[in-house]
Amino acid sequence: MNCIQAILTIDTDNLPSDFQEIIKHEQEVVAQWKAEGILEHLFLRKERNGAILIFKDMDEDRARELMATLPLYKLMKSVEYFNLMKQF
């Protein structure tokens, strides 16, 4: 299975006043992706400065499109993408 790993880092030094609302909306979006079967895993970073998302059965272009729709995307400092092949 081909997977895309996206590592999102947000700019924690410049969080807006409505950050908690953004987080709530973010959780709704990723829950929908999980329900649709396109998001295999979501890991929050211990430093609380981002997340790691594992998309399944899609190419990098589609993962980039989806990531750009995330509410936290507008607060991003960087996003890195890695193409993975799941072994087990």
Q: What is the pLDDT of residues 31-60, one digit of tens each?
A: 999 999 999 999 999 998 999 999 999 999
Element (H, E) at 67: helix 60-67
| Overall pTM > 0.85 | yes
**Residue 87 clears pLDDT 90, i.e. is over it:** no
Of 67, 3, 60, 65, the residue nearest 37 (C-alpha):
3
Residue 88: predicted pLDDT: 84
Residue 78: predicted pLDDT: 97
Domains of the chain are 2-85 (3.30.70.1060)
Residue 86: predicted pLDDT: 83
**Residue 79 clears pLDDT 90, i.e. is over it:** yes
Structure tokens that stand for 84 in this block: 């993975």
**pLDDT band for position 2 (cuts 50, 70, 90):** confident
Element (H, E) at 40: strand 39-44
